[in-house]
Structure 1
Amino acid sequence: MAESKGVVIAALIANGAIAVLKFGGFLLTSSPSMLSETYHSISDTGNQVFLLVGIRYSEREADREHPFGYGKAQFFYSFLVSVLLFGIAGWESLKHGYDAVVHGGHALGGTVSALGATFPAWYVNVAVLLGAIGFETYAFKKAFAELKRQIREYEWNGIYDAFKKTSDVTTLTAFTEDAVALGGAIIALVGIALTELTGNHIFDAMGAVFIGVLLMGFAVALALENKRLILGESLPADVETDLRRIVTDHPGVVDLDAFSTVFVGPQDILVTADVSFDAELDTGDLEDDIAEIERRLKDADGRVNHVFLEPER
């Protein structure tokens, strides 16, 4: 949890500063790409705020109404990020870019004076975007390091496998958002540079369109990732098989009648099982066997925090 929170805070600081700088660049040049990138960074900043709220809410202690805790709050707030922030920001960026393509625009003009020198205003956009690329690279590396740690810990086969299997939507969202932010900044930089070099506004306008499509695509992908966890996804089949084997291989176990797992929060799994034991076991031995199986399940996977075994005789 601490690692995920650190990833989010790093992204929050970077994106808040970048949003202000990008908006300043837009005011100076009226660049469609810079306005789209402003929407992008504002949504990124709001994204981190929602994720931090989700993390804080999920840390509440379990109670009668929520006996397995509030861990799923992170899935809910991450879903809100996709719908309210990236969906809206993506649509506004796409709409603004489309309007610039259809109704025309202008090559970036104007000058800026600073430190006794005068230079083209579009230089400000270049400087801001290069700075954004630097900030986003830092945040991306931090999120990527945490994702790689989880890949090693759970023996996943790379990033694609991690996307399908991880329950840590906070790190997943931060990682993807940082990757999209890098892509958006590069698109805007290329569009602005080509517009200035050619005098044709279409490149800057199309940059805004591409950024909007990028944001909306991410919104859909993130919503689908959170959907599987909100609905109650089980562990991957291979991990479940290993946990089943721990139960069936235990001395005194005759049969495993039912076995289920479900994520009740990031890195928080509930395991339930109906287990047939040897009829010759006395009650005291049976209680010890159940406690031992529960301990082994938790030791086998650190995400297993809730185990309920129903003995059958």
Structure 2
Amino acid sequence: MSAGGGTKAIVAALLANSGIAVTKFIAFGLTGSSSMLAESIHSVADAGNQGLLLVGGRRAQRAATPRHPFGYGRERYVYAFIVSIVLFSLGGLFALYEAYHKWDLSVTELDRGAITSWHWVPVVVLIVAIILETWSFRTAIIESKAVKGNATWTQFVRRAKAPELPVVLLEDLGALVGLILALLGVSMTLATDDGRWDAVGTAAIGVLLVVIAVILAVETKSLLLGESATDEDVTAIEAAITSGPEVERIIHMKTLHLGPEELLVAAKVAVRQQSTADEIAAGIDAVEQRVRAAVPIARVIYLEPDLYRAGRATAGAAGAPGADA
């Protein structure tokens, strides 16, 4: 996995969530707090998700095969999408179910809904978890700043081609907010001796996780379907193609991410009418070298030489491949 994949951030989140999950389960066993149970499952889901991201990054490095001639780069997108499903089902839906169960229990048997023993344990555990999660979130922010450039955080999450850092960022943000909600729910339960506050905190955690899971699913689905190069890379590729004497103009061009760090470029270019076959072949080689120098991730390049005709160029840009041939 490249640096853009944020391996350091993933490992930091995995270590933090694994340790947090153990302490939360101990706290739940001692107190019976539904917020602690929801947060325990949330941490287990997060740790599993970081493991899935690491597996996806490793599997994406496999070499191309005759059956998969463009390699396995998109496998990182597949595992990121699985992460959103796990977060939605194991994290969000479980928390909502547990909130309903706790609320029903608190209404019918109020004394059983409250935290009756080890009152200080969930508060201490949640405060420690907030500290550890803040460290993980800070690591993800530092890693992301190195690759996001001038984009806003919203733009980074929506436009990043490497899915790991946006996933870890959103998971860590959700975990921090969830811990604060759990702390509020537990604190109010201890203050009022009313377990319904614990149920409310659990429900808020569930809603938060469902929202984050939906955002992740939407963004990773777009990557799975196939996204084009960024505007900056498209501009650089177009400039590289037309900067030499070999090409008069670009008739039309399409780009597609085969993986976070692998870009396919397909273009029909206009060459001079009097060019020989040898000159065209040498010109295409030169153009490919310029494109790769300008955008190193453009690893698969297909250039089709043609003669420019305005009507055919319009049809080719809008129609199926070969429509303007």
TM-score, length of structure 2 as denominator length: 0.87
Structure 1 position 257 matched with structure 2 position 254: no
Secondary structure at the aligned position of 2:248 is classed as: strand
The separation in 2 between residues aligned to 1:307 and 1:252, in whole angstroms, is 16
Query: What code does the residue aligned with 1:143 have?
Result: A
Deviation at 1:289, TM superposition (A): 2.4
User: 1:32-43 counterparts in 2 under 5 A?
Assistant: 32-43=34-45
The separation in 1 between residues aligned to 2:232 and 2:48, in whole angstroms, is 37
Residue 137 of structure 2 is matched in structure 1 by 140
Deviation at 1:176, TM superposition (A): 1.0
Q: Is the 8 A contact 1:86 1:216 kept in 2?
A: yes
Output one character per residue of 1:16-48: Cα deviation in whole Å (capped at 9) or x when no partner.
Answer: 111111011011111111011011001001101
Output one character per residue of 1:56-97: Cα deviation in whole Å (capped at 9) or x when no partner.
Answer: 110101111111210111111111111134323210101111
Structure 1 position 109 matched with structure 2 position 104: no
Secondary structure at the aligned position of 1:52 is classed as: helix
Deviation at 1:2, TM superposition (A): 4.3
The separation in 1 between residues aligned to 2:137 and 2:295, in whole angstroms, is 28
Structure 1 position 122 matched with structure 2 position 129: no
Residue 6 of structure 1 is matched in structure 2 by 8
Query: What code does the residue aligned with 1:245 have?
Result: A
Q: Is the 8 A contact 1:87 1:215 kept in 2?
A: no
Query: What code does the residue aligned with 2:205 have?
Result: I
Residue 191 of structure 2 is matched in structure 1 by 197
User: 1:276-295 counterparts in 2 under 5 A?
Assistant: 276-295=270-289
Q: Is the 8 A contact 1:252 1:281 kept in 2?
A: no
Q: Is the 8 A contact 2:185 2:197 kept in 1?
A: yes
Output one character per residue of 1:103-139: Cα deviation in whole Å (capped at 9) or x when no partner.
Answer: 31533221xxxxxxxxxx1321122111211211111
Q: Is the 8 A contact 1:46 1:85 kept in 2?
A: no
The separation in 2 between residues aligned to 1:190 and 1:304, in whole angstroms, is 50
Query: What code does the residue aligned with 2:115 have?
Result: L
- Give the count of matched residue pairs: 300
Structure 1 position 97 matched with structure 2 position 99: yes
Output one character per residue of 1:261-307: Cα deviation in whole Å (capped at 9) or x when no partner.
Answer: 11111122111111111123333433332222222222222332221
Residue 184 of structure 1 is matched in structure 2 by 178
Q: Is the 8 A contact 2:246 2:284 kept in 1?
A: no
User: 1:156-195 counterparts in 2 under 5 A?
Assistant: 156-195=150-189
Deviation at 1:238, TM superposition (A): 4.9
The separation in 2 between residues aligned to 1:130 and 1:303, in whole angstroms, is 43
Secondary structure at the aligned position of 1:157 is classed as: coil
Q: Is the 8 A contact 1:184 1:211 kept in 2?
A: yes
Residue 268 of structure 1 is matched in structure 2 by 262
User: 1:6-25 counterparts in 2 under 5 A?
Assistant: 6-25=8-27
1:308 to 271, 290, 302: 302
The separation in 2 between residues aligned to 1:196 and 1:73, in whole angstroms, is 46
CA RMSD in angstroms comes to 1.7
Secondary structure at the aligned position of 1:50 is classed as: helix
The separation in 2 between residues aligned to 1:252 and 1:99, in whole angstroms, is 71
Q: Is the 8 A contact 2:87 2:209 kept in 1?
A: no
1:66 to 46, 65, 68: 68
Secondary structure at the aligned position of 2:71 is classed as: coil
Runs of 4+ in 1 over 6 A off after TM superposition: none
Query: What code does the residue aligned with 1:282 have?
Result: T
The separation in 1 between residues aligned to 2:228 and 2:298, in whole angstroms, is 12
Residue 118 of structure 1 is matched in structure 2 by none
The separation in 2 between residues aligned to 1:188 and 1:255, in whole angstroms, is 60
Could you list the runs of 5+ residues in structure 2 that have no partner in the other structure? 308-325
Query: What code does the residue aligned with 1:77 have?
Result: Y
Residue 207 of structure 2 is matched in structure 1 by 213
